[in-house]
Amino acid sequence: MNAAITKDRSEPVADTDLSHQLEALRADVAKLVSTLSDDLSDGVGKTGRQIGQTGRDARATATTTVIEHPLTAVGIAVGVGLLLGMIARKG
């Protein structure tokens, strides 16, 4: 079994020890925040690039589809236009 090492609570703790520990803690927290910030900005940048690429791919696919099937594209556009017109008139 692992025995926990405990300090006697009756020993006085020096103020300098506490201040050194606090400074070390502040430095550690600042380092952690910096690391998290860098990781977050890298992740956001990567996600932004992926979204941009997905949008470009979708636009290219839509353009190719319309060029290959122009009558179908016009028919869909007419149908959507009529549907939106009917909804707007009733609203």
Domain boundaries, the chain: 15-90
Q: What percent of the chain has pLDDT over 90?
A: 59
In b/e form, how buried is each residue of 33-59, taking b as 16+ CB within 10 angstroms? Answer: eeeeeeeeeeeeeeeeeeeeeeeeeee
Cα–Cα distance for residue pair 34/42, rounded to 1 Å: 12
Residue 65 · residue 73 · CB < 8 Å: yes
At 20-64, the pLDDT tens digits run 899 999 999 999 988 888 888 888 999 999 999 999 999 999 999
- Count of residues for the chain? 91
Predicted TM-score (pTM) of the model is: 0.50
Q: What percent of the chain has pLDDT over 70?
A: 84
At 59-79, the pLDDT tens digits run 999 999 999 999 999 999 999
